[in-house]
Structures are given as C-alpha cells and as structure tokens.
Amino acid sequence: MTVLDVARGAYVRLPLSTRAQLGRILQFVPTSIKFGSTYRHWRGVIDRSRTDADFVRSYRQQALGEVVQSAIRNAPYYTRTLKPVVGDLAPDELLGSEAWSRIPVLSRQTVLDHRDGMCTVSPDRLDRASTDGSSGEPLSFMLDRNRSPIEYAFIHDAWSRAGFTAHDWRCVFRGFDLADRDNIHMESEPALRELRLSIFHLDDATMASYLSAIRERKIRFIHGYPSAMTIFAQYLVRTGAAPLSQIRGVFPISEKLFSHQRDLLAQVFDRATIVPFYGLSEKVAFAVERAGEADTYEFNPIYGYTELVDDEGRPIVTPGQAGRVVSTGLMFRGMPLIRYDTRDMAQLVELPSARNGYQLVLNHLAPRRSSEFIVSRSGSLIPFNGLCVPIDRHDLTREVQFCQRVPGEVELLVVTEGGQQPDFSDYLFRMAERSAGDLTIHLKVVDKLRMTGRGKRKFIDQQLTIPKV
C-alpha cells in the first residue's frame, strides 16, 4: 500500500488540523514514494495504450468480462439480474456478444434501491460517496479505497499535455473545507501541492490576495471550476493584471466549459494550454478533450467501457447522432456499475476502432448540471458546485432543491421518506464555516418540490438576477 492509498483511506478522514500537520511532513516525501508503484504502473499502462491497439482490445475485453463475472459471483443484485442474461460466457467472449446488448441500462433509481446488494465486498471495506443530478435527486454509492493513485495516474497524464508533472504546484478553485481558521480564504496543502483558494469569497480584495500568492509562489497551473476561474479571470482583466503569462496550464473540472469562458481564459492566461477532462464521481468513465478540437472528447478505453445509446438503450452507430452516455467502470470493482446511465448527453463523432485506439469519441457533451451560482451576502457569486448536495446518513432524502430570493440567504428544500427529519447538521455547519458568515442555508422539509410549467423540477431555483459569467 502506498502513501497515497493511506491518504485516501485515512488522511482525508482526519480532522482538518491533524491533516494540515501531516501534510507538512508529507511534502518532504519523494514523489516516487508518495504516489507509489500503483501510480507508476497505471502511467505505464496509459502510455502503452496510446501505441498498442491490440493491447487495448485485449485488455478491455478481458477486464469487462472480469467485472461482470465478479459481480455475478459476489454481488446479490447482479447474481439475480445478470446471471440469466450472461450465462456461462467466458470473460473474453462478452464484449460484442448478443448477451451484452440485452443487459439493461442501469438507472440511478436502481442504484438507490440496491446499493449494498451491488457490492462485491462488504460495504464497510469501501468508502461512501455521493453525487447529484440536474433534478436534485441525491445518489449515494460505494467506492474502492485504493482509487487515489489510479485516479491521479489518469488525471496527471491528461495534464501532462500542458507540461504538468507530479512535482508541480497548482492553485485550485474548488469548494474546500479549509483547516487554517486564521485564513479562511486560502491555504496550502503541501502533501498534494495545492494552493487552495476559497470560491466562497470571490470579491476583489480576496482575489487580490490570490493573485499575490500565485505570483509569489510562481505557480504555473490553475485548476478548478470554470465558473470560478472565469470570475478570477474577469478580475484580472478589470484590474489590468491580465495577461498572467506565468500560467502554463488551465485545468477545468466538474462543469461544462462554455466557449465564452474558454475565450476569456485563453486571453488572460495567454501562454497556457487549456486541458478539460470529463470524469464522474461514480468513476465509470474518463475522457480528455482532443487536442485542437474544442468540445470533442476521447474516452479512455482502459478506464471504462463507454457507449452512446438512444432512448431505447440501443447503441448509436451513426456519426452526428445524439444520445445518452452509458458506461461500465473497469478500474474500481467494489461496487461495479454495469451499463450505468450517466444521464449526460453527447453526439457521436467516432466509434471505437483499432485506428483510434478503441476510443469512443464524442462531442457536444452536455453534463447533468450546467454552471449555476448563489449570491453571497456581500454580493459576490458563489459557484454552486462548492456547496454540493447533502446526503443524510440514513438515506431518507429523495429530492432536494436550493431556492434563493435574497442575497446571502438560501432555502434548502428537502423531500424525505414520510416527511422524516434528516440530519444535515454537519453539512450546514460546514457550509457556514466555508462561507464565513457570508451565506446562511435554511433547511425546510416539504412534501413535494415546485415544478415548472413543463413539469420539471429546478435544482437551483435562483430568483435573483445573475450576470453572465
């Protein structure tokens, strides 16, 4: 087990103050030791996959079969549902078979209803994680604890297009719980070489301190939500600090990167390579934008087996046709998600083939939720991704909606099983600390959420006027 394996399994669950102290020690651990043999192995596999199509074809076929057979043997839900479909097919015979096409697409509701029964190991050996969708229906699931070095291998490989290495520092605009109570806006995470910048305080005075720290530390890479990085870039233009030419790589995550945001980031960080990648909390697919082709993504065939399907679950084979992204994760097998409906939409560019290294190529990728904002009490914009969606420990929550009518005040509307009161005290405390009094969230349990005239539920019912970002 590597140091980074421990970091995911134990380090991230330590109290923030303890984690900060340990991070100051870990910064002196050589990178080769900190990331370990697991990381080095997968960087090597990724490198080989670029030039050896036969290796990719064989690996993908074998891995997909192993995931399915392990699920049938060890997960009660899959024993019931997949065994009658797959039968006794050998692992390397499943891909492309008629049986594969008959495996039903896995819905979010099915995961909600059968989570523990989908695990191939005891759930107490896994980490609980969560995500949300555009409708605000929370989803909790389980992930392997050794995922960090593997995840970093794929992410660092993508960022290497901009010259990034594991030795480099980044400034990061994401929703963090910061350990340093004396500096609620910014802190250094030396173990992961991150300068963490609060997205809850994107006012001019705070962004001036961010710029000063970036210059002083000679940071060359910027990473985070496009919405937050765009607000920072607008500040640099407004104050005459642009271009910031020391930045060599811009790494957008978690939100769609719109063309006007890309243009501004390219203008402000004029010597940087912009490297967006597509990933999911559920860890079933990983794709990187194709160099020189904005909004066109190549899905890594080692990480997951990804398909584009129509409304009936049938594979789309005609370039230019749009459909839903469905994927089976190949990396993390503690709770396998087989033919999982991501609910993201895209358009087919190329089907996997030996010519393109068995990469599915899609464009116009539309994630489940676009960039949305909350207005703080001081008037600054807070990217919604920094708030995240609360998941109560007993899975009582069925739907949530954030409603804002007044700056600095947000109503969290929750529909639960039988109107029971969920325990969101930890979540509300964390959000209060993150925003340092600039935002208050009020919890309200309701019987149902308000719908639009077209019968849809808004995830963010934002009733304030938000400027274009």
Q: pLDDT digit string (tens) for 104-137? A: 999 988 998 999 999 999 999 999 888 754 445 6
Tokens of 76: 């009660």
> End of a domain among 234, 251, 275?
275
Residue-wise pLDDT tens digits, 166-194: 999 999 998 776 655 556 689 988 888 99
Tokens of 155: 């992410």
Res 416: pLDDT = 83
Lowest mean pLDDT among 193-197, 370-374, 461-465: 370-374
Res 255: pLDDT = 82
Res 89: pLDDT = 81
Domain containing residue 174: CATH number: 3.40.50.12780
CA atoms within 13 Å, Cβ hemisphere of 270 = 9
**Are 226 and 256 in contact, with CB atoms under 8 Å apart?**
yes
Residue-wise pLDDT tens digits, 319-360: 999 999 999 999 999 999 999 999 899 999 999 999 999 999
> End of a domain among 217, 240, 275?
275
Res 135: pLDDT = 44
Is 316 inside any structural domain? no
Is 8's pLDDT higher than 80? no
The rounded Cα 170 to chain-centroid distance in angstroms is 18
Q: If we measure between CA atoms, which residue out of 359, 417, 372 comes closest to residue 392? A: 417
Res 436: pLDDT = 80
> End of a domain among 225, 254, 275?
275
Cα-flanking dihedrals φ and ψ of residue 315, to 5°? -60, 140
Question: Within this chain, do residues 155 and 267 fall inside the same structural domain, yes or no?
Answer: yes
Is 397 inside any structural domain? yes
Could you list the residue range(s) of the whole structural domain that residue 430 is in? 373-462
Structural domains in the chain (count): 2
Report the range out of 51-55, 228-232, 313-317, 459-463 with the highest average pLDDT. Answer: 51-55
Is 369's pLDDT higher than 70? no
Is 378 inside any structural domain? yes
Tokens of 100: 């594969």
At residue 25 the predicted structure's pLDDT band, cuts being 50, 70 and 90, is low
Is 398's pLDDT higher than 80? no
Res 455: pLDDT = 45
At residue 270 the predicted structure's pLDDT band, cuts being 50, 70 and 90, is very high
Is 236's pLDDT higher than 80? yes
Q: What is the mean pLDDT of residues 228-244?
A: 94
Q: If we measure between CA atoms, which residue out of 302, 284, 289, 300 comes closest to residue 342? A: 284
Res 134: pLDDT = 45
Residues 428-443, buried b or exposed e (16+ Cβ, 10 A)? Answer: bebbeebbeebbebeb
Tokens of 36: 């370990």
Which SS3 state, helix, strand or coil, does residue 99 take?
helix
Average pLDDT over the chain, rounded to an integer: 86
Q: Give the DSSP H or E segment for 215.
A: helix 204-217
Instruction: Please report the DSSP string for 413-442 in residue order.
Output: EEEEGGG-----HHHHHHHHHHHTTS-EEE
Domain containing residue 416: CATH number: 3.30.300.30
DSSP state of 294: T
Residues 345-354, buried b or exposed e (16+ Cβ, 10 A)? Answer: bbbbbebbee
- Report d(CA 367, CA 285) in Å as an integer: 13
Is 1's pLDDT higher than 50? no
**Are 214 and 197 in contact, with CB atoms under 8 Å apart?**
no
- Report d(CA 45, CA 267) in Å as an integer: 35
Is 418 inside any structural domain? yes
Is 195 inside any structural domain? yes
Helices (H), 27-171: 31-51, 53-74, 76-81, 83-86, 98-102, 108-114, 147-159
- Report d(CA 369, CA 342) in Å as an integer: 12
At residue 258 the predicted structure's pLDDT band, cuts being 50, 70 and 90, is confident
Is 432 inside any structural domain? yes
Is 387 inside any structural domain? yes
Strand 440-445 with 409-416, pairing: parallel
Position of tokens 């392990």? 70
The single-letter code of the amino acid at 112 is L
Res 46: pLDDT = 97
At residue 15 the predicted structure's pLDDT band, cuts being 50, 70 and 90, is low
